[in-house]
Amino acid sequence: MIEVKNLTHRYGDRVALSNVSFEVKKGEIFGLLGPNGGGKSTLFRILSTMMAPTSGAASIAGHDVERDPAAVRRAIGVVFQTQSLDKALTVEENLRAQGHLHALSGADLRERIERAMERLGLADRCKDLVETLSGGLRRRVEIAKALLHRPQVLLMDEASSGLDPAARRDLSRHVESLREHEGVTILLTTHILEEAGRCDRLILLHQGSIVAHGSPGELRARIGGDVVVLEVADPQAMAAAIEERFGVHPSVGDGQLRVEIRDGHRFITEVVEAFPGAIDSVGLHKPTLEDVFVHETGASIE
């Protein structure tokens, strides 16, 4: 449904995207995960036809974003990171204006607005001015607006940023149900791990390049075993000592040591006994997407 081939984009000398290629299948929820400045927004702008890439190609529903932007625009619904609603208008007025932009009108448009508001649980708020709505509700109106013309693909840029965890879960539920009931293909950018974890597949973007791709499970499986995090007074010295003694290579960051190792529980008892009194705190967890990102890039997402 979405095809990206060797996409590269430069702002002057700065390379924002470097030879990025991937494919999204119909009905997938696909995530672009990475820190801010990693290239997600650039990719998003190119896919949403707002910007032409320096080189490479991207197509959505079989239409090239550069050669046939009008066809792409009919096929996509876009939810922006920033608000795209007119605050001085009501929910219904916003949706009606959006319908008009897509040349929808009359009974057909009325029926679509009703349905969109029902689907996103907004039916009782349609006469309210957008400025009176909470952040979570506004996001839902944005989605209702983006879906009004029944696009095949929904593009969402950091759609859950600025929402509290409850509103975020609520949003995910709506997105999930869209895919299930309407078969919409969804591409979203995020730097929130929890959200990325709910995607079918994702790519990790770092400094404009794909550093890993796969399902969340596959990505986590790249790290064999567990992750042990140690807080110590002198991380560098401790890293050297652990490497010498256990033959593993800890990564150092934020005053912490991170060790990827099988049977982490056994390692913990050994390491604590080996360096009595030198370790302030010990943690053990199954690998997260953050760990995968650290593993691949040495940098942190947040």
Partner 1 sequence: MSSFFLPAATLWQRELVRFWRQKSRVLGVVASPLVFWLLIGYGSNDLGRFYSGALVLTVMFSAIFSTISIIEDRREGFLLSMLVSPAPRTSLVLGKILGSATLAWIQGLIFLAFAPLAGVSIHPLDLIPVAAAIFLISFTLTGLGFVIAWRMESTAGFHAIMNLLLVPMWMVSGALFPMATAHGVIRAIMWINPLTYSITLLNSLLGLPNAYPGAFTSTIVTAAFGLVLLLISGFMAAQKSTRSAA
Task: Determine if 86 is a binding residue for partner 1 (CB under 8 A).
Answer: yes
Q: How far is the CB of 258 from partner 1 (least distance, A)?
A: 34
Q: How far is the CB of 74 from partner 1 (least distance, A)?
A: 5
- 283: which residues sit within 8 A by CB, 6+ positions away? 228, 229, 230
User: Which of 63, 25, 58 minimizes the C-alpha distance to 44?
Assistant: 58
Task: Determine if 51 is a binding residue for partner 1 (CB under 8 A).
Answer: yes
Beta bridge partners of 234: none
Judge contact between 124 and 90, C-beta under 8 A. no
269 φ, ψ to 5°?
A: -60, -40
Task: Determine if 95 is a binding residue for partner 1 (CB under 8 A).
Answer: no
State the alpha helices, DSSP H only, in 103-234.
106-119, 135-147, 165-182, 193-197, 216-221
Task: Determine if 274 is a binding residue for partner 1 (CB under 8 A).
Answer: no
Judged by DSSP in three states, 240 sits in: helix
Task: Determine if 49 is a binding residue for partner 1 (CB under 8 A).
Answer: yes
Which of 3, 64, 93, 200: binder of partner 1 (CB under 8 A)?
93
Encoding tokens for residue 247?
């033959």
Candidates 18-26, 88-96, 260-268, 291-299; binding stretch for partner 1 (CB under 8 A): 88-96
For residue 120, what is the enclosing H or E element?
none
Judged by DSSP in three states, 298 sits in: coil
Which of 33, 59, 98, 170: binder of partner 1 (CB under 8 A)?
98
Q: Which is closer to partner 1, CB of 146 or CB of 257?
A: 146
Q: How far is the CB of 182 from partner 1 (least distance, A)?
A: 19
- Interface size with partner 1, residues (CB under 8 A): 35
Task: Determine if 102 is a binding residue for partner 1 (CB under 8 A).
Answer: yes
For residue 92, what is the enclosing H or E element?
helix 91-101
The site for partner 1 (CB under 8 A) is made up of 11, 16, 42, 45, 48-52, 54, 69-70, 73-74, 76, 78, 80, 82-86, 88-89, 93, 96-98, 100-103, 105, 145-146
